[in-house]
Each structure stands twice: as C-alpha cells, then as structure tokens.
Amino acid sequence: MSKEQDKTKILVTGASGQLGQCIQKIEENYPSLKMHFTDSQALNITKKREIEHFFVDKSFDFVINCAAYTNVEQAEKESEKAFLVNAEGVKNLAEVCKEQNSTLIHVSTDYVFDGKKQSPYTEEDIPNAINEYGKSKLKGEQYIQNICRKYFIIRTSWLYSEFGNNFLKTILKKAEEGEELTITISETGTPTNANDLAKFIIEVILTNTYRYGIYHYSNLGEATWYDFASKILSVLGKLESVILKKTDNYSTFAPRPEYSILDMVKTKQTFFVSPIKWGSSLSKFLKKQLLSKLN
C-alpha cells in the first residue's frame, strides 16, 4: 500500500469560511492527513444528490462540516435560508456519511442555549435556542443525532480569525476609521480563536477515539462584547485614541443569549486538550498579525 493510500482522508465543506480557511492554513503540519477542501460552489450541501455524486469515486474517513449560514441578524428575516443550510444541508451530509461509513465532525454553536443559566453549559444541558440562527443550528444537531452513529458535534462560541467577517475585524475597521464604539455589556460568552478550534478539530481526528457525541470547545474564561473590544484595542495600543463606550441597552434584531459560557470538562477528559485563556490567545494572535504586516 502506498503512503498516499495510508493517509486519513478528510473532506472539509465550507472551506472558504473563516474556520475552513484556518484548517487549510495548518494542513501542511499534518502529513498523515489528506484533506479535500470544497466551498459551496464546488459542493452545495443543500443538494443531497450533489453530495452523493461527490462521493462516487472518493471515500472519506472524516467529513468536517464548516458550511453554515452564520448571519445571526439576517437569519431572523431569512429563516428559510438559515434552515436550508444549517438543518437540511446537515441532514443531507449526515445521511451520506452514514451510507459511506464516514465520521461526521460538525461545528455548532453556543446559541443553541437560551442564556438563562448562570453557570457554564454542559453537553447534557437541554438546548433552547431563542433566535432563528440558533434554532436552525439546533435542528442540524438533532438530524445528526437521529441519523448518524459516528459523529462529533462541536459547539463553539464567538469565533474570530484573520479570515471572513467577524467582530474582531469589525472593531479593527471602525477603530482605523476613527469611529466612536458603543459596545454591549449585556451578553457574556467566550471569544474563541478559530485557529485554536481548527487545531482542536484535527486533534479529534488524531485521537482516534470512538467516544462519539456532543463536545464543547472554546477558549477559556468569560467576557462581554465590551471586554472583547477593550482587549483588542488595548493589545494594539489604541485604547487611548478610540472612544469606547459600554451600553446595556444595545438593540439587535435577533434576541441573543445573555450568558453562553461552555463547560469543557468532558472535552478535556476525552481529548486531553488544554484550551488557553481567551485573552492570551487574542494577544498572541494580534501580535502575530502585527509582525506579519511588518515583515
């Protein structure tokens, strides 16, 4: 058997999104893995026939689903679109993974919870999404649990990276333009570096465990969106030059959980990982970005 055939074969959907690009960035660090990256143009998960056709002459040990409708605000107005990708598309993937005996790794969200709890949410807590985005992601989770035996659902929170659209990039843009920033303190969660999540997903594959199910992964600690913005500006030395105000009355179209910290005891015990504090990860990330710009 050739070395190429020995490799673990992985399909990554939604590869043009921020998490998909973070996984692409680290692919070369894992020579035992052979990854096949697709975006919605190459593989539309809302069409089951397309997925089946894609698998005709290919076999994958794992499918990492990064494809998602992620615009929380817009999902309130376009719930059909959100459910089409986040629920029906996921159902299609789950069915094909079952038929092909592939393990499905699906990325979900802290927004499946209502935020009424005041201690970190465990995997055993009963979800109760309060916005259309969260409801669509929850429906996707339920499809996987009903269809697949071999799956890992990974819930994460408040993702940022150098790719795509995210809170960090919005803050940086507004700070550059000298805009006054008014940021909410009414929601508490954990900012999570998508690069850290990408590495964790690879660890799930390399651990070679059969302890399938739902897991939580984020960076450690808690923050409000104001804390997140403040830390971004502080690390970049812009805290003095940008007007940053806090509000507890920031209105959004989509209702959002007030508290959505994820408990990671099960994740640490199963995968022997040690997530780092959100502030440390953010500082390292921003300093690395600054260095890359200078070089």
Nearest alpha-carbon partner for 262 in 110, 126, 154? 110
Secondary structure class of 67 (helix, strand, coil): coil
Q: How many beta carbons lie within 10 A of that of residue 287, not counting itself?
A: 12
Q: DSSP of 95-122, one letter per residue?
A: HHHHHHTPEEEEEEEGGGS-S--SSPBP
Sign of the Cα pseudo-torsion (149, 151, 152, 158, in order): negative
Answer yes or no: 111 catalytic. no
Given the residues 69, 111, 121, 133, select the one marked as catalytic. Answer: 133
Question: 190-204: b or e for each residue (b if 16 or more CB lie within 10 Å)?
Answer: bbbbbbbbbbbbbeb
CA distance 88 to 255: 23
Rounded to the nearest 5 percent, the helix, strand and coil shares of the chain are 45, 20, 40
Q: Which residue has the tokens 């070679």?
A: 208
CA dihedral 274, 279, 281, 282 (to 10 degrees): 160
Side chain identity at residue 128, one-letter code:
N
CA distance 187 to 184: 7
- Positions marked catalytic: 133
